Amino acid sequence: MLNVIIGRLAPSRGAVVFDGKVLTGKKPHQINQMGVVRVFQTPEIFPELSVLQNVMAPAFAKRDGAFRINIWRSLESERGIEEEANHILQDVGLYERRSHHAGALSRGDKRRMELAMCLIQHPRLLLLDEPTAGMSRHDTNTTIELLKKIKARGMTKVIIEHDMHVVFSLADKISVLAGGRIIAEGLPRRVRRSEKVQEAYLGGAHRLEEATH
């Protein structure tokens, strides 16, 4: 589902429309430049770069567009972008480790860093694929708090998640998918009561899909 929105897979039929513009058939970088940004289920980061550089790179994409030969100024003299990156790293709790190699971070920290990489672009639509998968309960709660904070800033998010704790703490609107079809949709209260959902949820490891606004 997210792969279709983001342009990695083509839909078998139909089209993805965001803000009145068709996303289907566009290249990944074009979709990103339109303000649709994604966090992957397995963190996609730049392992050889430092944490700070990982977060600065997307800011350049936002400021300079998809391609610009920027060799006149050194990285150190890009104060504005560095400050913004530091600020966001403080938000996700990685500021102290900003000069570490990103590849050396723990999986949970990589996820938080990837979230920071997305947030620095101020996306209009943020797509999250199981943002807490594989995290401890404590880390999960920290991430939920973080996502709540982002929600307060008024950014639209789509979250794929099957951890009910996460889903019900964050969602405004939930769609439940089973076997590729929507079996229930609506406010959290109503979805929770739906018989079909209970059956699918108890019957197997079907995914719940949820959207928050």
Q: Which stretches of the chain bind another protein, using CB under 8 A?
A: 3, 6, 27-29, 32-33, 37-38, 40-49, 53, 56-58, 60-62, 64-78, 101, 103-104, 117, 121, 129
Q: Please, which residue, 14 or 67, has the CB nearer to another protein?
A: 67
Query: What is the CB neighbour count within 10 angstroms for residue 117?
Result: 27
CB of 68 to another protein, least distance (A): 8
CB of 18 to another protein, least distance (A): 15
In 40-190, where do the E strands start and end? 125-129, 156-161, 173-178, 181-186
Among 183, 182, 143, 187, which Cα is nearest to 163's?
A: 143
CB of 115 to another protein, least distance (A): 13
CB of 114 to another protein, least distance (A): 9
CA torsion sign for 157, 163, 167, 169 is negative
CB of 193 to another protein, least distance (A): 30
Distance between CA atoms of residues 170 and 49, nearest Å: 32
Q: Please, which residue, 121 or 191, has the CB nearer to another protein?
A: 121
Q: Please, which residue, 2 or 191, has the CB nearer to another protein?
A: 2
Contacts of 105 (CB under 8 A, 6+ apart): 51, 94, 97, 113
Q: Please, which residue, 37 or 170, has the CB nearer to another protein?
A: 37
Q: Please, which residue, 52 or 147, has the CB nearer to another protein?
A: 52
- Whether the CB-CB separation of 131 and 159 falls below 8 Å is answered with yes
